[in-house]
Structure 1
């Protein structure tokens, strides 16, 4: 499968925080780096996501904001 999201990070799910409609999936992509994703509970269940499962985090960002603390 070819995707327009070129930032693809292999990692392992370290936590899933379930909500009513959406959940937060935490993925360790190595080197001390963590990626989190908010996805629907339906997707979490249909993909059978579980802690310890190896996944690929796909990042597609059309806007990147930079800020400074005052």
Structure 2
């Protein structure tokens, strides 16, 4: 399968919390990292999502926000993955930012060029990739 999402994370389900309409699915990644996805209860049933099941989590780069530094910034988004900026490709409208995580994986974010400049992003500096749980798409084999 080929997909257009730049961020693909292999992991396994740690927990499923059922709600009235949607469920929260915690996905454990290598290196003690975690991603939370919000999916419909129908998706939980149809994909047979349960603790221990291997999954892939997909996040479009345009859904990822960047917080420079490694400070304790409070945001409502459930997913925060910290690391170090490894590359920035500047365009006249958008910038592509890559953040290496401690577990060897990379998170890609597409942000506006103006935001990249205003945030003072630089290769080698710490940054946090932030994205909301509904932005996470889950996939299972078969």
- Which segments of 5 or more consecutive residues in structure 1 lack a partner in the other structure? none
Divergent runs of 4+, >6 A: none
- C-alpha displacement of 1:2: 2.9
Q: TM-score, normalised by structure 1?
A: 0.83
Q: Match of 1:62, SS? A: helix
1:57 aligns with 129
- 1:13 equivalent among 60, 81, 85: 85
- Which segments of 5 or more consecutive residues in structure 2 lack a partner in the other structure? 1-72
Distance change in 2, residues 1:17/1:62 (3 Å):
same
Aligned alpha-carbon RMSD (Å): 1.7
Q: Which has more radius of gyration?
A: 2
2:105 aligns with 33
1:4 aligns with 76
- 2:95 equivalent among 16, 23, 34: 23
Q: In 2, distance between residues paired with 1:48 and 1:13?
A: 12
- C-alpha displacement of 1:65: 3.5
- C-alpha displacement of 1:64: 3.6
Q: Which has the higher contact order (CA 8 A, sep 6+)?
A: 1
More helix by share: 2
